[in-house]
């Protein structure tokens, strides 16, 4: 562990990790429990960085678009920043265009908080965060635990647990931006998503409540194709959409009570690296980073502009507290929230 700066009088640490076989290495910072760096050892022995990252705690606070962080309490969006739970209306800060609550609402969501390091070894780090009752408008005092592990053969594993002392809503997601070849953008990366349906959205990116087939739309990634060609005519349609995973490829997770399903495959023809995303979650948000414009240099001084990386975020459907037709995001006392997601690299 090394010091990564300080914020609000608190030190922010960075934990360096490497898998037992040395085939994958990276680091995690206490701020947002964010994966700051991740490198894959290629077949020729060289290392390829595969995520975007920044150079100081202040840069993450001031300029990061949730880069590598755990978004919560409610990752993604809640329409009008409000929901009703057990007959009571809750109002969250409207931190996106004054109209929606994004990634927890306010300026101190889980992705902007300093987590407490509970344990670290060569290949994993476990961090925890206490969120008091009323934090950013959410009910219930909550404790969240995140364990990030680099496991053979070249796997980034993200495990999440949470408990609460009162009914609340929760939707956590890991928010790394992936770039598998170090190019200026990911538009020529190939993408496949294991989904036949998606959730149509309104002008605020809030699901309308309907479910639509991806067939014949720019969101049909059932067959591998370039991110750049996200439209029926081969043109360019930005992607920031929620896919409903059909979960037809399933295997046991590291915790045998959980089942991982294949969500997506991303690959670069330049580096030859392939990444598969496997998760317990029912949906996947795919964001091609088209709004990314980071004002400070990233790792190795690289400037991150539009589509410098792509986020593949396993989660529940946005605005689920207001859409009872989708799987519930309510967490009650005595229950334990569990999520397991793995990003598996090849090549």
Query: Residue 235's pLDDT is what?
Result: 67
Q: Residue 24's closest CA among 127, 135, 156, 145?
A: 156
Please, what are the domains in the chain?
2-346 (2.70.98.10)
Query: Residue 256's pLDDT is what?
Result: 64
Query: Residue 114's pLDDT is what?
Result: 97
Q: Of the residues 66, 103, 174, 175, which is catalytic?
A: 175
pLDDT tens string, the chain, 347 residues long: the values are 899 999 989 999 999 999 999 999 999 999 999 999 999 999 899 999 999 999 999 999 999 999 999 999 999 999 999 999 999 999 999 999 999 999 998 888 999 999 999 999 999 999 999 999 999 999 999 999 999 999 999 999 999 999 999 999 999 999 999 999 999 999 999 999 999 999 999 999 999 999 999 999 999 999 999 999 877 566 678 999 999 999 988 788 777 678 999 999 999 999 999 999 999 999 999 999 999 999 999 999 999 999 999 999 999 999 999 999 999 999 999 999 999 999 999 98
Which parts of 133-198 are beta strand (E)?
142-151, 155-164, 168-169, 173-174, 177-178, 190-193, 195-198
Query: Residue 233's pLDDT is what?
Result: 63
313 has catalytic annotation: yes
**Phi, psi at residue 110, to the nearest 5°?**
-60, -35
**Phi, psi at residue 167, to the nearest 5°?**
-55, 135
How far is the C-alpha of 312 from the C-alpha of 291, rounded, in Å? Answer: 15
pTM over 0.85: yes
Give 190's strand partners: 226, 267
> Dihedral angle at the C-alpha atoms of 146, 243, 204, 173, nearest 10 degrees?
0
Q: Of the residues 276, 313, 316, 342, which is catalytic?
A: 313
175 has catalytic annotation: yes
């Amino acid at each position: 562990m090394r010091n990564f700066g300080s914020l609000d009088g608190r030190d922010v640490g960075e934990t360096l990790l490497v898998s037992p076989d040395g085939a994958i290495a990276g680091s995690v910072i206490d701020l947002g429990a964010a994966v700051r760096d991740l490198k894959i050892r290629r077949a020729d022995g060289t290392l390829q960085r595969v995520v975007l990252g920044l150079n100081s705690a202040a840069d993450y606070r001031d300029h990061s678009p949730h880069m590598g962080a755990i978004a919560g309490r409610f990752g993604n969006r809640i329409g009008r920043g409000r929901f009703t739970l057990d007959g009571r209306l809750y109002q969250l800060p409207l931190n996106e265009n004054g109209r929606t609550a994004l990634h927890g609402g306010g300026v101190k969501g889980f992705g902007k908080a300093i987590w407490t390091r509970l344990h670290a070894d060569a290949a994993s780090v476990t961090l925890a965060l206490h969120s008091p009752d009323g934090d950013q408008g959410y009910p219930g005092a909550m404790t969240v635990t995140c364990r990030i592990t680099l496991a053979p053969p070249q796997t980034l594993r993200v495990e999440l647990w949470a408990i609460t002392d009162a009914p609340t809503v929760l939707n956590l997601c890991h928010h790394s931006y992936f770039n598998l070849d170090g190019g200026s953008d990911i538009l020529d990366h190939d993408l496949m998503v294991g989904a036949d349906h998606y959730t149509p959205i309104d002008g605020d990116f809030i699901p309308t409540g309907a479910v639509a087939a991806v067939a014949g739309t720019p969101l049909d990634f059932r067959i591998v194709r370039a991110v750049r060609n996200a439209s029926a005519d081969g043109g360019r349609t930005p992607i920031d959409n929620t896919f409903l995973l059909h979960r037809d490829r399933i295997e046991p997770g590291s915790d045998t009570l959980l089942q991982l399903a294949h969500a997506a495959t991303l690959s670069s023809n330049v580096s030859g690296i392939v990444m598969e995303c496997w998760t317990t979650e029912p949906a996947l948000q795919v964001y091609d980073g088209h709004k990314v414009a980071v004002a400070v240099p990233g790792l190795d001084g690289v400037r991150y502009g539009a589509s410098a990386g792509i986020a593949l975020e396993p989660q529940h459907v946005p605005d689920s507290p207001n859409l009872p037709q989708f799987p519930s995001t309510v967490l009650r006392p005595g229950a334990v929230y569990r999520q397991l997601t793995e990003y598996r690299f090849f090549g």
